[in-house]
Amino acid sequence: MNGLLVVWESRDVFLLGAANTVSLVLGCLLFSIPLGILGAVVLMEASAPLRRLLAELIDLLRCVPFLLLAYVVYYGLPELGLRLDSWWAGLLSLTIYTTAYLAEIFRSAFFAVAKDNIEAAHAFGLSRSLLYRRIILPQVAITAAPMIGNQVITTIRDSALLMIITVQELTFAANFVSANHFTPFAPFAAAVGLYLLMSFVVEEGVRRMERVRKVRYG
Amino acid sequence: MTWPAIRTILDGAVVTAALAAVSILLSLPLGLLVALLRWRRVPVVSGLLATFVSVVRATPFVTLVLFVYFILPSAGLELNPVPAAILALTLNTAAFSSEIWRSALQTFPLDQREAAMAFGMSEAGTFTRIVFPQIWRANLGPLVSEVTILLKCTPAVAVIGVVEITRAASRVGAETYEPLPPFLVATLIYTALIAAIVRGQRVVERRIARRFGSVSP
């Protein structure tokens, strides 16, 4: 009971933490979804050397633990003469990391678009950009929704690591409250509850997309 | 970077590898057990396990590590960082791998199980002789991905004071006032470890393909 009271009294800290987590994740998606699509298009369309270079880069990024990337960005940027505060360094590393995974997801979803769709579009003389905008991307948005949803949940989970470079997100808030009041259970349980809520929202979004897919494609 | 500094990080790499190895050996069978209990729909237990899996899947790993590390003492268990780290890694990977095992069990061809039943095989015998040898081979890819994800989770246990690669690197950085080089070395070690695992998977897959024909997706 005491713990619940502590959480209620420090609700401002939790709300600020949750707001930071949500804004980091949304900011990350705002950049990494377009960049991921761009990356996938390059992986499909560009000349062989460029394609191979990008594929190698993506594979490399997928081998690196997120925390290490965050550390390298956080400590590496000042060496390049760019001084970012921890929130922006966090956003940058989250965006780089998520883009690598999304590019891979979009690429496999592009492959899954039925070939006859694309051939029909060519036969009708659609330009390459129209082909992507009208034929491929709308289908990809619907078929890749579950995988994108999983990636968003992974991004939410990864964002918690940013507490280590002192970003004041939700886990930072829980840790702060628990250290200040010597009651570990309630603060962490509250944080876990908020994370669960976020993942429910994402899963609900995916379910809506599934419904659209069923209506359109049976 | 000096040689002793690199030695410190390499010592950390041994700790990381040991943590990962122990947690894999504990969590993959535990994940299978969770999947079996949920698949058999054991009352109450399967509901609790379903809740456990969805909570762990939504919770960031650092949060889980801190939770385990700070909660268990208040339940009367004095815990050192290393067992706490192993417990958190095991819970995390058991939850994720149980979903892989569960979908494998759900999609296992019914006719094979019926054939085994017709031959009078016991349920345990059917599982150990028919089901398990096929599902682990067919799901090697996803299970190995889970192992690489586990390795990528291990830096988080640095927050509770386990001196693995990441903590060793940040120590070196704090001593030399140059944090970037040790973290780059650490990144390189992680990449090498993960690339080695993925390479190992390819080798095992090729052996399986040679012995049993191609692996189903």
Q: Which residues of B148-184 are buried (b: 16+ CB within 10 A; e: fewer)?
A: bbbbbbbbbbbbbebbbbbbbbbbbbeeeeebbbbbb
Q: Does B70 touch chain A (CB under 8 A)?
A: yes
ipTM at complex level? 0.85
The predicted pLDDT at position A148 comes to 93
Q: Shortest Cα distance from B131 to chain A (angstroms)?
A: 28
Q: Does B42 touch chain A (CB under 8 A)?
A: no
Instruction: Please state, rounded to an integer, the average pLDDT across all residues of chain B.
Output: 91
Which pLDDT score, from 0 to 100, does residue A176 have? 93
Q: Is the dihedral of CA A40, A43, A45, A50 positive or negative?
A: positive
Window 88-127 of A, Cβ < 8 Å to B: none
Minimum distance, in Å, between the CA of residue B117 and any CA atom of chain A: 36
**Within the 141-200 window of chain A, which residues sit less than 8 Å (CB to CB) from chain B?**
153, 156-161, 163-164, 170-171, 174-175, 178, 184-185, 188, 191-192, 195-196, 198-200
Distance from CA of B71 to the nearest CA of A (A): 6
Say if the Cβ atoms of A72 and B166 lie within 8 Å.
Answer: no
B96 reaches A (C-beta below 8 A): no
What is the secondary structure of B5-48 as a DSSP string? HHHHHHHHHHHHHHHHHHHHHHHHHHHHHHHHHHHTT-TTHHHH
| pLDDT, tens digit, 9 for 90 and up, residues B175-197 | 999 889 999 999 999 999 998 99
Tell which residue, B94, B90, B96, B107, has the closest CA to residue B39: B107
- Would you give per-residue pLDDT tens digits along chain A (218 residues)? 577 888 888 889 999 999 999 999 999 999 999 999 999 999 988 889 999 999 999 988 988 999 999 999 999 988 888 888 999 999 999 999 999 999 999 998 888 887 888 889 989 988 888 988 888 888 888 888 889 999 999 999 999 999 999 999 999 999 999 888 888 888 999 999 999 999 999 999 999 988 888 887 76
Report d(CA A16, CA B122) in Å as an integer.
57
> Average pLDDT in the B160-170 region?
93
B159: nearest CA in chain A?
Answer: A164
Tokens of B67: 């939770």
